[in-house]
Amino acid sequence: MCLVALAIDHSRRFPLVIAANRDEFFKRPAARLAWWTPETGGPAILSGRDLDAGGTWMGLTAEGRLALVTNVRDPGRNDPGAPSRGRIVPDWLAAADRTDRFWMRTALSGYNAFNLVAFDFRRGECFWASNNGDYPLRLERGVHGLSNAKLDTPWPKVEALKERLDDAIAEASSVDALSMRLFDALSDRSEAPDERLPDTGVPLEWERRLSAAFIRTPDAAYGTRCSTLVITEKVNRHLVTHVLERSFSATGVALLRRSTLKNWPPRYSLDDGTAQPVSEPTEVAEAELVADAAAAAELQAAAKRVRVRSLLKPDPSRRRRRTMPMPL
């Protein structure tokens, strides 16, 4: 991913919402959202898939892990021979390691600079990590944003997407209404004014193009390849998670896939190691993203009647963020 906003335990009705864009060269082959099993083994992954180097930019498993990765824009330190950062997500999804052991192993694996956001819902934790010298941070409830710099770096498109995600969650009457608002935010082609552009080591013309949420170069060689949403809704006493992927061709054609996972993510109080049942992904037409007002009102009323428990285990240190005590 190259632009992400996520809300964790920020809403009673929607305890997890992720909105993200993946930017890449169109000549690089990729598969659309589906369940697949890595060649190295491990649990099945629900995600899009890089068919060039393998791996993925964002994915989840029925067992209760989710991860996404972005690159850190630093062209002067890029090693063309480094392993693909797309391997990091499947590695986390397949690992049984706790966060500290996984991070120490990953940070020493020779990847070019990256950001990783990784959830382990069975342990009730989420962390952000980058191999640029920072310690991993435990994330707590709230709205966070990420692009090609550190977590919550106030780039214009990061701040704009966080604000629009916050507003959409507060005003949404249904999952479909929320989906349409978030897809609209991810399709914003507005470029930031020059005085607000970051200096990441690329030419000014590229800084302008990359400052938009949705990117498309004039030659149609590079741009936003897909927009992905993960929306968890509290329905009565159950969680239902919707994963939607809108993928784009170089000519601008958009295709939509949608998967619904019941009883996901698992609660951190579950410690028996079993996975919750999930449904297979279902492809739907974009026209089906239309809110049913009566059904939405019923779900909203039900959600308000239920006491909501957080997805993340409270931080025992009672600090908003906690660094993990180990060096890179």
Residue 69 belongs to a domain with what CATH number? Answer: 3.60.60.10
- Confidence at residue 86, expressed as pLDDT on a 0 to 100 scale: 93
Q: What is the mean pLDDT of the chain?
A: 86
- Confidence at residue 154, expressed as pLDDT on a 0 to 100 scale: 97
pLDDT in tens, 291-318: 344 544 554 554 444 344 699 988 766 5
The answer to the question of residue 322 being in a domain is: no
Per-residue pLDDT at 186 exceeds 50: yes
Q: How far apart are CA 212 and CA 106, in angstroms?
A: 30
- Confidence at residue 132, expressed as pLDDT on a 0 to 100 scale: 84
Q: How far apart are CA 51 and CA 190, in angstroms?
A: 30
The answer to the question of residue 321 being in a domain is: no
The answer to the question of residue 315 being in a domain is: no
pLDDT in tens, 25-68: 999 999 999 999 988 888 999 999 999 998 999 999 999 999 99
Per-residue pLDDT at 158 exceeds 90: yes
The pTM of this model reads 0.86
Residue 105 structural domain: 3-305
Residue 106 has φ and ψ, to the nearest 5°, of -70, -40
The answer to the question of residue 310 being in a domain is: no
- Confidence at residue 304, expressed as pLDDT on a 0 to 100 scale: 44
The answer to the question of residue 92 being in a domain is: yes
**Token match 């991810």: residue?**
186
pLDDT in tens, 85-121: 999 999 999 987 888 889 888 988 999 999 999 999 9
Residue 181 has φ and ψ, to the nearest 5°, of -65, -40
The answer to the question of residue 227 being in a domain is: yes
Per-residue pLDDT at 140 exceeds 70: yes
Q: How far apart are CA 138 and CA 121, in angstroms?
A: 13
- Confidence at residue 104, expressed as pLDDT on a 0 to 100 scale: 86
The answer to the question of residue 317 being in a domain is: no
Q: How many domains does the chain have?
A: 1
The answer to the question of residue 117 being in a domain is: yes
pLDDT in tens, 210-230: 999 999 999 999 999 999 999
Residue 94, token pair as written in the block: 């397949």
